[in-house]
Amino acid sequence: MINEKFSEALAWAATLHHSQRRKINDTPYLAHLISVAALVLENNGTEEQAIAALLHDAVEDQGVTVTEIEQRFGATVAAYVAAVTETELTTEPQPPWQERKLRYLTQLRAAPAEAVFISLADKLHNARSLEAGLHSHGESLWEDYFKSRRQETRWFYEQLVIEYRAKGFTDHWLLEELLRSLANIFPERQLHLQAS
């Protein structure tokens, strides 16, 4: 059941990310957060998971602290957000791309399945956006919009699939949808991604 805490989180996310845009299609960043929360709710996620989905980038993109999230929305939401946060915005200098991704994968391994589910919804929406961007921009998208190269991004998604399967999402339709998007993004790796 959704109550006023969800509405409060939505309003706060809108305020925090009001000037942030998605890099590929320049849409308001809030659209991504709402999409991730919708995927969570449409798949029987709890209100706490949906709130964490709305706030999943607040720490790394807007400098909000996990403590502040805990004060506003409770320890469970804060723990979910912490589990799916790559690095705090205040970390200077930002660690290199691969170091951040390895840390994220380690966090997922230690996180409860409820938090990993938020990550799965997030990465599915990111993959769908990437797929749409490739359709619009072609292969130049990699150089134009991403710090990582195509092969590094592919490696990261392959590792994510391993972690999602390890957490019990092997037969979940969100993982099936992620694999479908990845097969379109990286057609040369389709068999490897589909294999258990």
Residue 169 near residue 120 (C-beta atoms within 8 A) = yes
CA–CA separation, 129 vs 97, rounded Å? 20
- Out of 47, 57, 60, 122, the active site residue is 60
The answer to whether the bond into 95 is cis (omega within 30° of 0) is no
Cβ count within 10 A of residue 69: 25
Residue 44 near residue 73 (C-beta atoms within 8 A) = no
Residue 157 near residue 127 (C-beta atoms within 8 A) = yes
The DSSP bridge partners found for residue 28 are 21
157: number of CA atoms within 13 Å, CB side? 31
- Out of 8, 61, 88, 158, the active site residue is 61
Q: Is 61 a catalytic residue?
A: yes
Q: Is 171 a catalytic residue?
A: no
Cβ count within 10 A of residue 181: 20
Burial class (CB in 10 A: 0-12, 13-18, 19+), 93: exposed
| DSSP letter assigned to residue 28 | B
Residues labelled as active-site residues: 60-61
